[in-house]
Structure 1
């Protein structure tokens, strides 16, 4: 038996290795389901909600400051702002499945009435030198590196991660309510555990965000 293994042609061994790698990658990606059990899709509006109760309860939304970019924060009450998910290689295609551990962009499709920011609502992570952390805000760009996120399984729920230079770190709540990550090698911050609620057609809680090209 050992002799047969040693006599295995290198090309066959390499092909088997590549097949195993492909299978492992496929196993790492799985569908994501919203609160009603439907698969998440690109181009569809969702609210991202904390799956926990208490201090981290609420929806992700944007603050209502008049300056750009708008900070992505965890709201203590009221519905959060809807988002859409975009794949970097097909940002304008709708109805494609959103899978775990897949690079994607996240975009607010609405803005609070109290904001005059018109940067398009795409999430991005930028370094805050005071906190020594990457904080998530609007003003990103579809397909840009600073706007690359993933959704990963976390027990029975999911978590959001920010990915840069091949490294993905859990997003958590920093400085009271801001979404971000510290890239702390000790992992002292617990990830924000989330669920997804599809926005209904008759939802009138928000208004459409102003895009940079709007007058």
Structure 2
């Protein structure tokens, strides 16, 4: 019942907070979208705090057209491992690890690494961390899965959009600077898929705890 009430409240929220515009990325900073992050724990759709090392699905707060969940795919066959982080009909679980080794919780506005918790072959088992790579053909910066790189893979943040609802966006802050960029969704003609990318409109989302208890 708590979940149904939350989803109904989120649908009312969206009526007055549209997120459908699409423009060529111009790398806006987070000050351009009002956020309500307080440094409190990030919560899932049931209102429970996200835990480091526990698997969650990342899903849009909308339904129907424009909705989607975050998934790891092998659309670019020029890579040796699945590396395309796309918006799809179903999700692959992700775990979050604070960049601060002393941190015991997933907090708003704190540096994190994102890692897919999926079964893959031995050669690709270390290539599950989120990062950002520039694509010269499209001119966009896509989120891709690869090996962990210090001061790059752990430069993501989760920011809360509204104090009354657990709606979030993801930002990327290269080299730990204060200049952060929105992670949104952009269609990539080369692989015929909508990918996560640095964009001028953030992907508004929530988190859903999966049946996978934890990830190593």
Band the TM-score falls in, shorter-chain normalisation: 0.5 to 0.7
Structure 1 residue runs without a partner (length 5+): 1-26, 183-188, 203-207, 210-215
Q: Residue 84 of structure 1 corresponds to which residue in structure 2?
A: 95
Normalised by the length of structure 1, the TM-score is: 0.68
Q: Residue 170 of structure 1 corresponds to which residue in structure 2?
A: 182
Which 10-residue stretch deviates more, 60-69 or 100-109?
60-69
Cα distance change of structure 1 residues 58 and 111 upon mapping to structure 2, 3 Å threshold: farther
Is 1:125 the equivalent of 2:136? no
Q: Residue 34 of structure 1 corresponds to which residue in structure 2?
A: 44
User: Would the aligned equivalents of 1:62 and 1:112 in 2 still touch at CA under 8 Å?
Assistant: no
Aligned length: 167
Normalised by the length of structure 2, the TM-score is: 0.68
Is 1:148 the equivalent of 2:176? no
User: Would the aligned equivalents of 1:128 and 1:135 in 2 still touch at CA under 8 Å?
Assistant: yes
Large movers: runs of 4+ above 4 Å = none
Distance 2:139 2:44 in 1: 33
CA RMSD of aligned residues (A): 2.8
**DSSP-derived class of the 1:60 partner:** strand
Give the number of the structure with larger relative contact order, counting CA–CA contacts within 8 Å between residues 6 or more apart: 2
Distance 2:170 2:112 in 1: 11
User: Would the aligned equivalents of 2:111 and 2:154 in 1 still touch at CA under 8 Å?
Assistant: no
Structure 2 residue runs without a partner (length 5+): 1-36, 188-192
Q: Residue 14 of structure 2 corresponds to which residue in structure 1?
A: none
Distance 2:53 2:125 in 1: 20
Q: Residue 20 of structure 1 corresponds to which residue in structure 2?
A: none
